[in-house]
Amino acid sequence: MSSKVFRHKPLAPDEQIGRVEPDGRVYESLFGPDKYVGRVEVDSGKVYEARFGPDKEIGRVTLDNGKAYRAKFGPDEYVGHADGDGKLYRHKPLAADEYLGHIQEMPAYAHAGAALLLLVLPAWEATQAEAETATATAEEAKAAQAAKDAPTKS
């Protein structure tokens, strides 16, 4: 049975964004057929993103405590962790980690880490980018209106 992955929505029910199969395959929920986005090696914790050609390793999950790391040149970057009850958190330096969502019926930390790296974090990052774009657009509109309303010297 697959594990459902939910993204946290403040003051609203959490939104289902995907699922993780027992063999480690991860799917994004879409209207219509779900999209395969990657996989996790359940025995090693390595997480791979699906792409045309060979899959790309994007991170790893420690199998004993659920810590997720994003692969990069040099030491891997710690991005978050999963609790034993399936709650997924994003790491915030010098602050309490931020709750991003949860996975129902979590069979192992590998599945939760894959959900965090392949589904929850990208959804959160997309939401943050949209918010920054909206803020920048609003500020540009305010500046343009202020320039238009300003009296001109003749």
pLDDT of 154 over the 60 cut:
no
Distance separating the N- and C-terminal Cα atoms of the chain: 75
Place of tokens 């019926």: 105
What's the pLDDT tens digit per position in 34-89?
A: 999 999 999 999 999 998 889 999 999 999 999 999 998 888 899 999 998 989 99
What's the pLDDT tens digit per position in 96-146?
A: 999 999 999 888 999 999 999 999 998 888 888 888 888 878 777 777 777
Q: What is the pTM of this model?
A: 0.84
User: What size, in residues, is the chain?
Assistant: 154
Q: What's the pLDDT at 72? A: 87
When pLDDT is cut at 50, 70 and 90, the band that residue 147 belongs to is: confident
Q: Which of 60, 52, 35, 50 is nearest to 114 (CA)?
A: 60
**Angstrom distance (rounded) from CA 53 to CA 50:** 8
**Angstrom distance (rounded) from CA 148 to CA 60:** 53
pLDDT of 5 over the 90 cut:
yes
Beta-carbon count within 10 A of 22 CB: 13
Would you list the DSSP string of 67-116?
Answer: EEEE--SSSPEEEEEE-TTSEEEE--TTSPPEEEEEESS---HHHHHHHI
Q: What's the pLDDT at 36? A: 93
Helix (H/G/I), strand (E/B), else coil: 82: strand
